[in-house]
Amino acid sequence: MKTIGFIGGGNMAQALLEGVLSAGLFETDNVWVSDVRAERLDELKAQHGVRVTTDNVELTKHVDVLMLSIKPQMMADVLDGIAGTLIEGVLVISIAAGITTAAIKEKLGAVQIVRVMPNTPALVKAGASGLYNASASEEGLKTALSICTSVGRAVVVESEDLIDAVTAVSGSGPAYFFLLMEEMIKAGVELGLTEDTAKTLVLQTAKGAALLAESAQERGEDPAVLRQKVTSPGGTTEAALKVMDESGLGEIILQALTTARNRGQELSKGQ
């Protein structure tokens, strides 16, 4: 069985680690984690029984699949440190925002590279990931997809530029929904509900709407159809949606996501 190694033991790495273990993609003895924080490694070893090290090179000498799960600002130093130490044909999967596959290839040479933009719901196995295959084989891409789908759903985009769009839509996307929930809770309190009551109603409504939309998608219905179904002419929902429409909500969302996409492009160019 293949061996996977995570350089970086943060929350996203732990989510993916737990995903591949629970899905049976890798055995515990075949999972390595390296991190500069010895106490974090102790936690991961105690919780999951994986192999740990503070030495990235010790990890790269053992793994067939290398997950770069570090902060973007750490990438250059990490790549310099492991250059020339990888197993031949290793699959390198990067989840670092703003780091291009060209930058990774420049440091590591002719390795299989897949770039992934996950999001934080992966922590509860409800993530959404976008993948770009720069140079992986069909089997390598299949492996990357299986890792990502162990914590949610995943799609493959055809060009690396589209990873910035994925970042804008789903990578940053949870924050948009959190903001909407936050503002709906505040509004509920303003309308007389207790904060606890407003939180319960808003969070359950968000969860129910997502599950309903997911179920509808399987029948070929998109969110617009669901919105129309719950919008009775002259009713309360129509009145609320009219305010949102007149406020230019659609244009605000487009502008926000375009700005997020553009910022992703700037970060990639500035590396």
Domain boundaries, given as residue ranges, for the chain: 4-166, 171-269
- Tokens representing 95 are 């989840």
How confident is the model at residue 271, as a pLDDT? 61
Reduced to 3 states, what is the DSSP secondary structure of residue 1? coil
**Identical fold between 4-166 and 171-269:** no
How confident is the model at residue 270, as a pLDDT? 67
Residue 113 in contact with residue 105, Cβ under 8 Å? yes
Q: Which CATH number fits domain 171-269: 3.40.30.10, 3.40.50.620, 1.25.40.10, 1.10.3730.10?
A: 1.10.3730.10
Give pLDDT tens digits for 90-111: 999 999 988 999 999 999 998 9
32 has which bridge partners?
5, 51
Give pLDDT tens digits for 210-220: 999 999 999 99
* Nearest CA among 173, 203, 172 for reference residue 185: 203
Task: Count CB-CB contacts under 10 A for residue 111.
Answer: 20
How far apart (Å, rounded) are the C-alpha atoms in residues 135 and 104?
A: 11
Reduced to 3 states, what is the DSSP secondary structure of residue 204? helix
Give pLDDT tens digits for 111-167: 999 999 999 999 999 999 999 999 999 999 999 999 999 999 999 999 999 999 999
Query: What percent of the chain stands above pLDDT 90?
Result: 93
The whole-chain average pLDDT of the chain stands at: 95
How far apart (Å, rounded) are the C-alpha atoms in residues 254 and 69?
A: 29
Residue 133 in contact with residue 156, Cβ under 8 Å? yes
Residue 168 in contact with residue 142, Cβ under 8 Å? no
pLDDT at 268 over 90: no
Q: Residue 88: which pLDDT band, with cuts at 50, 70 and 90?
A: confident
Describe the crossing of helices 75-82 and 101-108 by its angle, rounded to 10 degrees: 30
How far apart (Å, rounded) are the C-alpha atoms in residues 184 and 189?
A: 9
Is domain 4-166 given the CATH code 3.30.470.20 in the classification?
no
Q: Residue 269: which pLDDT band, with cuts at 50, 70 and 90?
A: confident
How far apart (Å, rounded) are the C-alpha atoms in residues 122 and 13?
A: 10
Mean local confidence (pLDDT), 188-196: 98
Q: Which residue has the tokens 């973007």?
A: 72
- Structural element, H or E, at residue 34: strand 31-34
- Contacts of 77-86 with C-beta under 8 Å, sequence gap 24+, read 78/7, 79/103, 79/104, 79/107, 79/108, 80/107, 81/56, 81/57, 82/7, 82/56, 82/57, 82/108, 83/107, 83/108, 83/109, 84/109, 85/57, 85/60, 85/61, 86/60, 86/111
How confident is the model at residue 11, as a pLDDT? 93
How confident is the model at residue 110, as a pLDDT? 86
Query: What percent of the chain stands above pLDDT 70?
Result: 99
HSE value, Cβ hemisphere, 13 Å, CA-based, for 137: 8
Give pLDDT tens digits for 14-61: 999 999 999 999 999 999 999 999 999 999 999 999 999 999 999 999
* Nearest CA among 64, 90, 44, 51 for reference residue 3: 64
pLDDT at 261 over 90: yes
Mean local confidence (pLDDT), 168-197: 98
